[in-house]
Structures are given as structure tokens and as C-alpha cells.
Amino acid sequence: MKITRRNLFQKFGLLSFGLFLPKWLGAFSSQKNSPELVILHTNDTHSQIDPLPANHGKYPNQGGILARASLIEQYREAHQHVLLLDAGDFFQGTPYFNRFHGVLEMKLMSELGYDVATLGNHDFDIGIDGFMNAQQHATFKFVNANYNFGQTPMAAVVQPYQIIEKGRYKIGVFGLGIDLNGLVPQSNFEGIGMQDPFESAAAVLKKLKQAHCNLIICLSHLGYQYEDKTKPSDVLLAQKVSGIDLILGGHTHTFMDGPTKVIQPDGHSTWIHQVGWAGVRLGAIEVTEKKFNFLQKIIN
């Protein structure tokens, strides 16, 4: 069924809530030599359900769930194997979050067919109970390897990693999150412990390699890079931990013109990418013989 404003939103009873139809202008083309796998990724959507306003200083009329849904639908029509991932902070930023407390975001991400998402710091803004209430509406998986969820309810729904098979690829997807201390009220993540992200990544990589994964992706909410080069970041992760093929990041809202490539001493290459914030870009990575072609689509 073709995705339209009505059939995407009417089931949630939201047509009277001021949603409007964005115009999608993003170009889409299918190459003659179709890739073996297409990885689509987003980060830091921050509850941007509608496009940004026409008078926005940088990204007028860009973003919006309907335009994203149309583009994702076209990718799926053109390619047999498509993986849809998110690097966190899908909550917080517009009145939709204040009104629906994350339920709308979960429903819409499920409707768009996300496979796996990691957690950002703002995904704890309604606390563990709030997250669990919204999470009931999610049909996709959550991953995080460096938070110890202990006896909290989130331990049952957030796993260190997921393994997904698409064509000839056995894909290991794991998540890493930023230290919540100082970013989120302690009461919002009480019972959850923070662990070293690099040690956590190394431990997960060992398991994914034992499982014979031939493509390993980290969904990271550490942030791309900081002035303090010792602060955990995607770049530092790629330098310190060998074996990750792709780091798809978030948190720093970094619009990248192209990916960053980091080569470890053992010769393994890790590619890092991030697509800004507010859903104004959709990252698309075409994979053929484990070679990556990075694209970005403007959601407009």
C-alpha cells in the first residue's frame, strides 16, 4: 500500500493535530548494477514529525516523517535487501513529544519499518517508565552494549546487539551510548550503570565475530568528535577498537559531506557517518562486495 498522509496518520487519530503534507523533492535513482545491500540511517530526529518551517534559517521545509517514508518506500521497491537504522534521540524537540510522550515516535518508526535503533540521552527524558510505556508500540529492536540495565524493566527490551541476515550478509548491529551523568536527571535512569564504551565494543565484537558476522555496524550516540580528544567519540572508537566496519553516529548533530575513514594498525578500515539532525537527511549506504558507496538524500 502506498504511504500517504492519511493512511500513515489516521490510525493514530492525529489528522486534526495540525499535521500538513510536505512536498518531497529528493531525487531517487536506481543504478543498473544494483547493490547487494542498502543501509538507510537516521539520527537525532528529535520528534520532528512535520517539516521544519518555511522560514527556518538553514533548512526551510526540510525533514518530516511523510517525506522520509516516501523515500524509504522507494528504496524498498528498488532493492531487495534494505536495512533501516537509527542512532538515537528520536524523542524530544517538538510539541508532539510533549503531547504524546514518545508513543507517536515509536508508532511512526514502526510504520516506517525500522529494524534497529540505539538510545540517545534524550530518549531518557521521560524516564524509564515513560520509555517503557512508549516502547510497547515499537516493532523494532533496541541495542546498547555499554549501559548496564540491571534490574530495570529496560533490561528486557534493550540488548547489546542484534544479528540480521540480508542476502549474503550476516550483519551484527550493536549500540553505544554517551555517559548520561550530567546530561539526564539521575532519577530518569536510576538503576542503569555506565560502562566504558571501548571495552564494551571490544567485548561485543568478539561475540559477533564468533557468530561469523561478515558486516559489523555500531549505532553510536557518543558524538562524532570533541575538542577534548580523550572524550569518547566515534573517531576515538574507530581508532581504539578494530573490527567495526561502519559507525553510524548521532548526538553531535554533525552534517557530514562524506564519511570519515579510519585505518587501524592491523589494516582494518572503519567508516564513520552521521546525517545531522531533525530528519532533514537520510543516509544511504550502498554495499557491494563489502565496498561502501555513501549517499545522502535531502528530505524536502
24 pLDDT tier (thresholds 50, 70, 90): very low
All cell numbers assigned to 74: 522507494
Q: Decide if pLDDT at 34 tops 90.
A: no
Q: What global pTM score does this model have?
A: 0.90
Question: For residues 273 and 257, what is the distance between their CA atoms, to the nearest angstrom?
Answer: 9
Q: Kindly state the helix (H) or strand (E) to which residue 238 belongs, with its residue range.
A: helix 234-240
Q: Decide if pLDDT at 16 tops 70.
A: no
Q: Give the pLDDT confidence score for residue 17 in this predicted structure.
A: 33
User: pLDDT tens, 87-141?
Assistant: 999 999 999 999 999 999 999 999 999 999 999 999 999 999 999 999 999 999 9
Report phi then psi at 162, rounded to 5. Answer: -135, 150
Q: Give the pLDDT confidence score for residue 30 in this predicted structure.
A: 42
Residue predicted with more confidence, 264 or 123: 123
Q: Give the pLDDT confidence score for residue 4 in this predicted structure.
A: 54
Q: Give the pLDDT confidence score for residue 80 in this predicted structure.
A: 96
Question: For residues 147 and 196, what is the distance between their CA atoms, to the nearest angstrom?
Answer: 9
Computed from CA positions of residues 3, 71, 88, 142, in that sequence, does the dihedral angle turn out positive or negative? positive
Q: Decide if pLDDT at 13 tops 50.
A: no
- The letter for the amino acid at 268 is H
Mean pLDDT along residues 53-78? 94
Please report, for the chain, the start and end positions of each structural domain, with discontinuous segments joined by +: 36-298
- For residue 21, what is the DSSP state? P
Q: Give the pLDDT confidence score for residue 290 in this predicted structure.
A: 84
> pLDDT > 70: what percent of the chain?
89
28 pLDDT tier (thresholds 50, 70, 90): very low
Question: For residues 279 and 99, what is the distance between their CA atoms, to the nearest angstrom?
Answer: 20
Q: Decide if pLDDT at 187 tops 70.
A: yes
Residue predicted with more confidence, 171 or 30: 171
- Asked if residues 115 and 219 have their Cβ atoms less than 8 Å apart, the reply is no
Question: For residues 159 and 182, what is the distance between their CA atoms, to the nearest angstrom?
Answer: 24
41 pLDDT tier (thresholds 50, 70, 90): very high
Q: Decide if pLDDT at 14 tops 50.
A: no
CA dist list (Å): 245 to 43, 117, 268, 276? 18, 17, 8, 21
Q: Decide if pLDDT at 29 tops 80.
A: no
Mean pLDDT along residues 24-48? 74
Q: Give the pLDDT confidence score for residue 33 in this predicted structure.
A: 63
Mean pLDDT along residues 263-277? 95
> pLDDT > 90: what percent of the chain?
84
Q: Give the pLDDT confidence score for residue 299 in this predicted structure.
A: 87
Mean pLDDT along residues 180-207? 98
Q: Out of 3.40.640.10, 3.60.21.10, 3.40.350.10, 3.40.50.720, which CATH number does the structure's domain 36-298 have?
A: 3.60.21.10
Question: For residues 75 and 69, what is the distance between their CA atoms, to the nearest angstrom?
Answer: 10
8 pLDDT tier (thresholds 50, 70, 90): low
DSSP string across 34-72: --SEEEEEE---TT--SPPPTT-SSSTT---HHHHHHHH
Q: Give the pLDDT confidence score for residue 3 in this predicted structure.
A: 54
Q: Give the pLDDT confidence score for residue 6 in this predicted structure.
A: 55
